[in-house]
């Protein structure tokens, strides 16, 4: 029998972005925020291996956020059925022709003809586009296809820090052929392979366990490089990303808090100046809530 437990509490809306940013930046293995429907209130929740871990992590969370005075309810979880708890919170999402559909709704949802479809499992709740950073990166992928409609067969596309593989699989759904995704976490790559198997209609991307240095080793470069990675990793490990874009290519960064945007932009522009002085760099940025992306186009 599993000893897993869930902690859950209702939180006011003014705490949502603060806690969401904290969980993303710290890459919390336990905590998250859920909202069933867009008009519903928010819950902060955590899934833990046992009650002792749950209470210890709750003490840490409340120490970092004394303003978090909500009463948390602890509930035992039966075996591995906890993933089913995510289903009510994982919703279909689409942007232009790209559609992300929960796996269990495969037979209930029919996307328009010509759609690029990725089926997602409940266990991918934090990598299905529900987070703003993923949505921002997906938008840049779609923009690139619109600007380069004949690029599907010819370009090299790299998903750096691919996580659960959603962006790489989205690229495959859009018809890209040469896709390479890597992540330093072996478990993430295991999940990538599992998610790919749930989408047999897509050409499987190449996935590999690697950090940024190894992912771009031996001169590997992409025409389009997507990197949904938090700022505290982007800045100290910027050089592999700067060197990992082909001449005339595009680098899309996400995972950046809007308050960190100028810091990241200035740092990368300086590194491009130092390392790629033969290239002219054009930048762009978009925001979604408290999160932002950065686009660097080389020419």
User: Does residue 64 register a pLDDT over 70?
Assistant: yes
The per-residue pLDDT for 128 is 46
Domain boundary among 30, 53, 86: 86
Question: Which pTM value belongs to this model?
Answer: 0.78
Same-domain check for residues 39 and 150: no
Same-domain check for residues 53 and 160: no
Query: In terms of pLDDT, which residue wins out, 185 or 155?
Result: 155
In a domain, 267, yes or no: yes
The per-residue pLDDT for 29 is 75
The CA distances from residue 153 to 29, 105, 215, in Å, are: 37, 31, 22
* CATH number of the CATH domain containing 219: 3.40.50.150
Q: How far is CA 177 from the centre of its chain?
A: 21
Mean pLDDT along residues 228-250: 95
User: Does residue 142 register a pLDDT over 50?
Assistant: yes
User: Does residue 70 register a pLDDT over 80?
Assistant: yes
Same-domain check for residues 31 and 170: no
In a domain, 270, yes or no: yes
**Residue-wise pLDDT tens digits, 3-35:** 788 899 999 988 888 888 788 777 677 888 887
The per-residue pLDDT for 125 is 44
Same-domain check for residues 142 and 266: yes
Q: Across all residues in the chain, what is the average pLDDT?
A: 89
Same-domain check for residues 55 and 160: no
Supply angle C-alpha 83, 191, 139, rounded to 5.
Answer: 95
Q: How far, in Å, CA of 258 to CA of 204, rounded?
A: 34
Same-domain check for residues 82 and 144: no
- Helix then strand count (H, E) for the chain reads 9, 15
Same-domain check for residues 191 and 72: no
Structure tokens, 241: 């990303």
Domain boundary among 86, 112, 143: 86
Q: How many CA atoms lie within 13 A of 2 on its CB side?
A: 14
Q: How many domains is the chain partitioned into structurally?
A: 2
% of the chain residues with pLDDT over 70: 91
**Residue-wise pLDDT tens digits, 267-276:** 999 999 999 9
* CATH number of the CATH domain containing 9: 3.30.70
Same-domain check for residues 141 and 46: no
Burial of residue 254 (number of CB atoms within 10 Å: 0-12, 13-18, 19+): buried
**Residue-wise pLDDT tens digits, 88-124:** 666 788 999 999 998 888 888 989 999 999 998 755 5
Least confident of 74-78, 117-121, 134-138, 201-205: 74-78
In a domain, 102, yes or no: no
Domain boundary among 52, 86, 120: 86
Same-domain check for residues 145 and 223: yes
Give the range of the structural domain holding residue 39, as residue numbers without chain letter: 5-86
For 77, which DSSP code?
-
In a domain, 97, yes or no: no
The per-residue pLDDT for 250 is 98
The per-residue pLDDT for 126 is 45
Least confident of 19-23, 139-143, 251-255: 19-23
Same-domain check for residues 77 and 160: no
In a domain, 92, yes or no: no
The per-residue pLDDT for 14 is 87
The per-residue pLDDT for 1 is 46
The per-residue pLDDT for 84 is 64
Report the candidate in 124, 133, 94 with the shortest Cα–Cα distance to residue 227.
Answer: 133
**Per mean pLDDT, which of 131-135, 148-152, 287-291 is the most reliable?**
148-152
The answer to whether residues 160 and 215 touch, using CB atoms and an 8 Å cutoff, is yes
Same-domain check for residues 82 and 196: no
**Residue-wise pLDDT tens digits, 162-205:** 988 999 999 999 999 999 999 998 888 988 999 999 999 999 99
Same-domain check for residues 60 and 173: no
In a domain, 123, yes or no: no
Helix (H) or strand (E) holding 31: strand 31-34
């Amino acid at each position: 029998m599993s000893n897993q437990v869930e902690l859950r509490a209702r939180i006011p809306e003014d705490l949502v972005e603060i806690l969401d940013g904290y969980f993303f930046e710290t890459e919390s293995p336990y905590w998250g925020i859920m909202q069933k429907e867009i008009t519903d209130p928010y819950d902060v929740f955590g899934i833990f291996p046992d009650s002792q871990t749950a209470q210890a992590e709750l003490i840490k969370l409340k120490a970092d956020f004394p303003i978090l005075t909500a009463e948390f309810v602890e509930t035992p979880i039966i075996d591995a059925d906890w993933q089913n708890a995510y289903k009510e919170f994982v919703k279909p999402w689409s942007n232009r022709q790209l559609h992300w559909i929960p796996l269990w709704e495969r037979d209930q949802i029919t996307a328009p003809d010509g759609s690029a479809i990725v089926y997602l499992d409940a266990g991918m709740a934090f990598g299905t586009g529900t987070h703003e950073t993923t949505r921002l990166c997906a938008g840049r992928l779609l923009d690139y296809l619109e600007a380069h409609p004949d690029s599907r067969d010819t370009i090299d596309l790299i998903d750096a820090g691919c996580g659960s593989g959603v962006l790489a699989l989205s690229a495959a759904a859009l018809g890209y052929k040469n896709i390479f995704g890597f992540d330093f976490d072996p478990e993430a790559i295991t999940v990538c392979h599992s998610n790919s198997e749930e989408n047999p209609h897509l050409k499987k991307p190449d996935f590999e366990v690697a950090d940024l240095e190894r992912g771009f080793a031996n001169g590997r470069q992409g025409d389009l490089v997507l990197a949904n990675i938090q700022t505290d990793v982007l800045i100290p490990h910027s050089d592999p990303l700067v060197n990992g874009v082909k001449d005339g290519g595009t680098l899309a960064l996400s995972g950046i808090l809007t308050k960190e945007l100028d810091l990241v932009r200035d740092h990368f522009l300086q590194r491009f100046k130092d390392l790629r002085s033969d290239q002219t760099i054009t930048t762009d940025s978009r925001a979604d809530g408290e999160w932002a992306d950065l686009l660097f186009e080389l020419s």
